[in-house]
Amino acid sequence: MFRKIPFLFLFAFFLGCTPQQEPVQIDLSELTISAIHKAYQKGSYNSKDLVGAYLDRIELENEALNALTFINERALETAQALDKEFSETGKLRPLHGIPMIVKDNFNTMGMPTTAGALALQDFIPEEDAFMVDRLIKAGAIIIAKSNMAEWAFSPMHSESSTFGTTRNPYNLDHVPAGSSGGTAASIASNFGVIGLGTDTGNSIRGPSSHCSLVGFRSTLGLTSRSGIVPLYLRNDVAGPMMRTVEDATRVLEIIAGYDPEDPVTKYSEGKIPENYQQFLQKDGLTGARIGVLKELSENDPDPGIKALFEQAILDLKNLGAEIVDPVGIKDFADLRQNQWCSEFRADVESYLATYVKRDTMNTLEDIIRVGTTSEYAKESLEYFLDAAGRSPNPEIECGDPYTDERRIAFREGIEKRMDELELDAIVYPSWIGKPAKIDSFQEGYRGDNSQIIAPHTGQPAFTVPMGFTEGNLPAGLQFLGRMYAEPTLIKLVYAYEQGTKHRVPPASELQ
């Protein structure tokens, strides 16, 4: 487990007082960026107080979840420096003093970045990933790294060789999905405010859905992936996993943009508005046209999920939307086929050469030689020894969503139908199955809708809480938009969130 730190002592030390003095009492339940900044401006507490309170909470509650892997021992020091800056300037940066939890596949300078694998268990990057650097410059404070499915292989569960298995905070017998389950469980449990995850097929939206969070998979090309351990770089997107749409939007505003180290972000130039917060409109569903994709919503759904989705459609109507049901996309069953390409070897070996730079850790064979404690990861690594390209159609070159003919055809089929029906978005349940049991995750894994469209077409897809099924298990509603239509999606998901208020924190001795 991560190194345990005497948080109260450190908190008192950096505050310049003795350990006997009482720390400021802060109600951490469901804190938002806006509420925190108002408290800073009023002097109710400062960022040192807040970081100390979150560290205390983590110390008490993380053991049951096993969501976090490393605590940043310099978080209080960073908070102190930000407090000093605010006292001198009277100005707050956009994310000034906001505690952040970062998935363990993002490079974080001076902190371990393992991707859950023994092969990287002692790797400490020399610099932050591009996205992490942007957030830090905006004032965010890394307080912890989060557990993940090893190498991000599993959408089903979050088990690593370095830190074991993460549990769902709403029901400890169930998975938080994968691979960003540690981020999801910790943000859902109010261990921090900003959560970062990665999504190759499911891994922002799936865990967010399972943990009653907002998850943004933005247009592939809007945000950078440099300095992040890849799974399939052609599909990978990194982004926010948060408790509210507003907070996720504030983070998106910071991370969107061109990175010369990630060429695909060149496509975003000229497509980013001055700010995204202007689209946080409570009446954003008024007059919107929303399509229902029955191929995903009616594919043998769990009865509880089906009931929640039907209620969600009624809620969208009541909030002013016009529902188009069904959408019916021509050749959908064919277009979705042969989209995956096995590029792990090439992508991970490029990462090792660029960032790890060790003679003993250059290849996939080196990773396998070091080994794994996970049978699931072991089987996946052995598969990638020989797997490459698009196996059903090896003659079709694998590329990004702007150059790959199969991906372009899939997207054009969807966007053409959206244009014909004048749709603002398409909706479906993020999962049509409940979170699986920890001890039978493979048998219980079903209904993962996030894998089917957005990872391949490159389109943005956002999930928001839709309610709870039997067993206190969360479910999510997913909105799919056109390329670079984040402004439209923000309006829609914000209006739905504000009109339904489904987000509820998990039960906790600290709530």
pTM for this structure? 0.95
Residue 391 pLDDT: 81
Asked if 203 is an active-site residue, the reply is: yes
Asked if 103 is an active-site residue, the reply is: yes
| Candidates 180, 203, 208, 297; catalytic one | 203
| Candidates 179, 189, 212, 297; catalytic one | 179
Q: For residue 475, is it left (φ>0), alpha (ψ between -120 and 50) or beta?
A: beta
Residue 388 pLDDT: 87
Integer Cα distance of 149 and 347 in angstroms: 17
Per-residue pLDDT of the chain (511 residues; tens, 9 = 90+): 444 433 333 443 344 444 445 678 999 999 999 999 999 999 999 999 999 999 999 999 999 999 999 999 999 999 999 999 999 999 999 999 999 999 999 999 999 999 999 999 999 999 999 999 999 999 999 999 999 999 999 999 999 999 999 999 999 999 999 999 999 999 999 999 999 999 999 999 999 999 999 999 999 999 999 999 999 999 999 999 999 999 999 999 999 999 999 999 999 999 999 999 999 999 999 999 999 999 999 999 999 999 999 999 999 999 999 999 999 999 999 999 999 999 999 999 999 999 999 999 999 999 999 999 999 999 999 999 998 899 888 889 999 999 999 999 999 999 999 999 999 999 999 999 999 999 999 999 999 999 999 999 999 999 999 999 999 999 999 999 999 999 999 999 999 999 999 999 999 644 4
Q: Is 262 helix (H, G, I), strand (E, B) or coil?
A: strand
Q: Is 178 helix (H, G, I), strand (E, B) or coil?
A: coil
Integer Cα distance of 184 and 191 in angstroms: 10
Integer Cα distance of 305 and 127 in angstroms: 43
DSSP letter for each residue of 372-424: -S-HHHHHHHHHHTT--B-SS-TTSPP--TTT-HHHHHHHHHHHHHHHHTT-S
Residue 21 pLDDT: 54
Integer Cα distance of 465 and 430 in angstroms: 10
Integer Cα distance of 476 and 464 in angstroms: 5
| Token pair recorded at residue 368 | 């396998």
Residue 13 pLDDT: 38
- List, edge to edge, every strand of the sheet that includes 68-71: 68-71, 140-146, 98-103, 194-199, 237-242, 214-217, 461-469, 473-480, 425-429, 289-292, 322-324
Q: What is the 3-state secondary structure (H, E, C) of 85-103?
A: HHHHHCCCCCCCCEEEEEE
Integer Cα distance of 177 and 432 in angstroms: 13
Do you find a cis peptide bond into 273, omega within 30 degrees of 0?
no
Integer Cα distance of 132 and 504 in angstroms: 28
Residue 171 pLDDT: 97
Integer Cα distance of 448 and 443 in angstroms: 13
Q: Which residues contact 419 (CB under 8 A, 6 or more apart)?
A: none
**Residue written as token pair 């505050």:** 15
Residue 12 pLDDT: 39
Residue 14 pLDDT: 41
* 164 C-beta neighbours (distance < 10 Å), count: 16
Residue boundaries of the structural domains of the chain: 61-79+95-340+400-500
Q: What does each C-alpha distance from 462 to 10, 32, 369, 381, 478 come to in angstroms?
A: 38, 19, 38, 30, 6
Q: Are 297 and 432 in contact (CB under 8 A)?
A: yes
Residue 511 pLDDT: 46
| Token pair recorded at residue 121 | 């268990």
Interior/surface letters 325-344, b for 16+ CB within 10 angstroms, e for the rest: eebebeebeebbeebbbbbb
Fold annotation for 61-79+95-340+400-500 = Amidase signature (AS) enzymes (3.90.1300)
Integer Cα distance of 86 and 72 in angstroms: 22
In the chain, DSSP finds a helix count (H) and a strand count (E) of 18, 13
Closest CA to 400 of 236, 201, 202: 236
3-state helix, strand, coil in the chain (%, to 5): 40, 15, 45
H or E segment at 346?
Answer: helix 344-351
Residue 24 pLDDT: 83
